[in-house]
Structure 1
């Protein structure tokens, strides 16, 4: 973009223009999200999980199960089922869902939402779920049309009493033809900056012009091209051809286009509102007709609902029916809750999900990450965020992740890097992490602070006797968690896949 602006301005002003390096760096800015490092599930051809691959670390059993689900999705053999990812917070449930989405490719629709979003939308909960389901179902529409595909040889434009008129000369490797141009075609040529030597495509039914690129024969015209110029071969054969185009849209997009007066433009307005069921039924009948005639093909996508325990009994009943529908996507839900109440009832159930819905789910459990796995995840995130870190600092951050949480350790990377840059250092050191650790507290220290100063907070309604009981319960819970972690560590140290990492345990520094 910078090169194009520079080139066009230079032509207009006939002067040399210099662009600072600071402006050029803006073009390389990319958003780094919490799971931007995920490229897939990290499986080999036999669906076995690699130790570290495609941004995925650990959770081999869960990833292997997700790989089987992926194959079932690709073969269309998972109708009437859904998947539940259940595990403690910070055990990679969302990462596995993202890995499935990345493995399916860009043509498969993937919709992600949090269950709590349904209660904040200005529409019925079941309507919001219906729209999310239909956003996750793709329709691949095949269409044949007559086109002209050729290289531009000459463009002549004149003004007469009726307006602009012109002639366009096109050629392929075998023939050359001249066409008369009307005002609309001339306007399109100007809009797309069509020049001699460009390879274009013209839709004969609509008159739409598409610029394919520049002919390889013009590769030596250095004065008329930029660094981003795309070169293509001169078309072969006849000028007029019949070509098949494939457009992939979602059912929800078709719903919106047919239910709003502004049609396609309503997709850009954001809030599409509620859609009448009669319109959806007519669209479903039309899509079924396209399928029978071979004009369209259905692409079941993926709907990922995080924090599914936030749904109420009405939404769960709706999902029960939706899962077994003929036009249902693959539904993946995730939760970090144990046995808890189902919202909207007084009944308790595993994960806060009704038993009849649980019976329809394939359940995948995720387990807490161990020390070597946390180390690898921290290393991957540092690379993803373009951060240099010393080896001892990386081990120190691993220890923090073990004693607090993985998320907290990952959140300290960027603050530590900012502290390092402030002292003009290229790498994060242990002192930088200690500084960030003292500035940003974790959950345990926050609770400790709250217990110490809770009487000074507003709306403090806990009596001293209740507080003593809570402290006793918390101490018992802490003891149970420590005993559990000690047992898990002893068990995992005997596993074959961790034998090569045992020597690292002696090098990990203590936070104190």
Structure 2
């Protein structure tokens, strides 16, 4: 892959981490999603589940099992294994997966896909799964770099008469020494972009020329200075101005694949058009990463791949997963399904959870159960707080009873609709009457089925569907 390829990997890491963090902050500010209240698994230091913590309620055994798995992932003791979360709909399988992602943090890769995505992409099924698997394996690259770090004493910039060329001098100091550097046009532009002034503490990466403003020196702070609320004051650095530092970058194997398979390098990551990647290239990258590991320049971080609605995969995908889990570079694969005895897609055979038995033999199965009435009330209350909706005295019990009689997702959807109805009548709280009106406007599954029975023979395609069912029964 070479030094150029490695530099592209490091540049890509910088752009990827920056854009992802910004995107996450924007999403968090502007949108309330179905699982935006999930902040973690809600476990204590002994991995014991709390009854109501970090947005998680109930499912104690499943959360504890997930916490045990996460502990092993963080210690690097588990990879190439598979775990299945199985349970009825609306029992928190996806919520547990998102809680695991929150607990792992930024450094450990966590990829979430729906099984149906594999069939909707413009590439083969095995390539889509391969990319998802390699996206879940991180490479932590270590390198030593020369860094100039200190407090800016003076910046002097001289422009030519035409203004085309710029030269300058930068005086920078630590508590032990002071040095003057000659500046070129590129470095002057970098300092201007960061708005570096005398008194700022900065760090300059000599390899890339990147300028980072660490803060404002305490020695330059005055009571009468007008400073913004986000201004940081730091101590003047000690020691030499120029020093060697170890820098750590974390990228996924898939990002390295894309960078080295496209002429535009890391820009292909933002275009989204990754396409199929040749196996020969992946083998070369794996060989290079293995060399870096031996030299101590990099280490592998096995992450987590979560496949939701895994029963939607077909027998070819399951066979591929069986083989992929045995490879040296394999993440932990967590799957979720709400199916019982079901037909394995692509075959005529039925199997538990819609997964072939040879795959079920090698996975650990964690079951989730339906929530109790008190747990349903807690979940409804958490979602109401997340949506800034205030509930009346009996409204919480009403929504919890709807969740018991219908399903939890329907009851949670009624919160936002009932909240809008209450605002229309200029009320600060959602009353039972608002919930009843929303209940009349929007049907749940049971009432929709009853309505369809009353419309028998009137709906389009019913007759054609009946004829096709008859033909299937005859065959």
**TM-score, normalised via structure 2 length:** 0.89
The whole-number CA distance in structure 2 between the counterparts of 1:270 and 1:174 is 49
CA contact (8 A) 2:81 2:331 kept: no
Aligned residue number for residue 286 of structure 1: 288
The whole-number CA distance in structure 1 between the counterparts of 2:343 and 2:277 is 32
Aligned residue number for residue 153 of structure 2: 153
Using the TM superposition, give the Cα deviation of residue 95 of structure 1 relative to its aligned residue in structure 2, in angstroms: 0.9
For the pair 1:359 / 2:348, whether they are aligned, the reply is no
Aligned residue number for residue 166 of structure 2: 164
CA contact (8 A) 1:340 1:348 kept: yes
Secondary structure of the corresponding residue to residue 49 of structure 1: coil
Identify the match of residue 425 of structure 1 among 400, 410, 427.
427
Aligned residue number for residue 409 of structure 1: 411
The whole-number CA distance in structure 2 between the counterparts of 1:220 and 1:269 is 48
What CA deviation, in whole Å up to 9, does each residue of 1:356-385 have, x standing for no partner?
A: 000011000000111000001111111222
Written as runs of structure 1 = structure 2, the 5 A alignment for 1:426-505 is 426-461=428-463
The whole-number CA distance in structure 1 between the counterparts of 2:29 and 2:284 is 45
Secondary structure of the corresponding residue to residue 145 of structure 1: strand
CA contact (8 A) 1:79 1:324 kept: no
Aligned residue number for residue 66 of structure 1: 66
Count of residue correspondences: 442
For the pair 1:207 / 2:228, whether they are aligned, the reply is no
Secondary structure of the corresponding residue to residue 213 of structure 2: strand
The whole-number CA distance in structure 1 between the counterparts of 2:186 and 2:34 is 47
The whole-number CA distance in structure 1 between the counterparts of 2:158 and 2:73 is 58
The whole-number CA distance in structure 1 between the counterparts of 2:280 and 2:402 is 56
The whole-number CA distance in structure 2 between the counterparts of 1:294 and 1:28 is 38
Secondary structure of the corresponding residue to residue 148 of structure 2: strand
Secondary structure of the corresponding residue to residue 209 of structure 2: coil
The whole-number CA distance in structure 2 between the counterparts of 1:66 and 1:173 is 50
Cα–Cα, structure 1 residues 250 and 80, in superposed 2: closer, same or farther, change >3 Å? closer
The whole-number CA distance in structure 1 between the counterparts of 2:55 and 2:121 is 34
Written as runs of structure 1 = structure 2, the 5 A alignment for 1:103-252 is 103-160=103-160, 163-220=165-222, 225-252=227-254
The whole-number CA distance in structure 2 between the counterparts of 1:29 and 1:410 is 21
Aligned residue number for residue 491 of structure 1: none
Higher relative contact order (CA 8 A, sep 6+): 2
The whole-number CA distance in structure 2 between the counterparts of 1:72 and 1:405 is 34
What CA deviation, in whole Å up to 9, does each residue of 1:333-368 have, x standing for no partner?
A: 000111111111111111110000000110000001
Secondary structure of the corresponding residue to residue 127 of structure 2: helix
Aligned residue number for residue 94 of structure 1: 94
Written as runs of structure 1 = structure 2, the 5 A alignment for 1:272-351 is 272-351=274-353
Using the TM superposition, give the Cα deviation of residue 229 of structure 1 relative to its aligned residue in structure 2, in angstroms: 2.2
Secondary structure of the corresponding residue to residue 146 of structure 2: strand
For the pair 1:42 / 2:42, whether they are aligned, the reply is yes
Using the TM superposition, give the Cα deviation of residue 160 of structure 1 relative to its aligned residue in structure 2, in angstroms: 2.5
Using the TM superposition, give the Cα deviation of residue 401 of structure 1 relative to its aligned residue in structure 2, in angstroms: 0.6
- More divergent stretch after superposition (157-166 vs 392-401): 157-166
Using the TM superposition, give the Cα deviation of residue 34 of structure 1 relative to its aligned residue in structure 2, in angstroms: 1.2
Secondary structure of the corresponding residue to residue 424 of structure 1: coil
What CA deviation, in whole Å up to 9, does each residue of 1:300-347 have, x standing for no partner?
A: 111000010000000000000111211100100000111111111111
Using the TM superposition, give the Cα deviation of residue 465 of structure 1 relative to its aligned residue in structure 2, in angstroms: 12
Structure 2 unaligned blocks of 5 or more: 1-25, 470-475
The whole-number CA distance in structure 1 between the counterparts of 2:125 and 2:363 is 22
Secondary structure of the corresponding residue to residue 462 of structure 2: coil
What CA deviation, in whole Å up to 9, does each residue of 1:75-105 have, x standing for no partner?
A: 3333332100000100010111112222222
CA contact (8 A) 2:194 2:213 kept: yes
Secondary structure of the corresponding residue to residue 415 of structure 1: helix
The whole-number CA distance in structure 2 between the counterparts of 1:267 and 1:224 is 42
CA contact (8 A) 1:156 1:167 kept: yes
Structure 1 unaligned blocks of 5 or more: 1-25, 468-512
Using the TM superposition, give the Cα deviation of residue 69 of structure 1 relative to its aligned residue in structure 2, in angstroms: 1.6
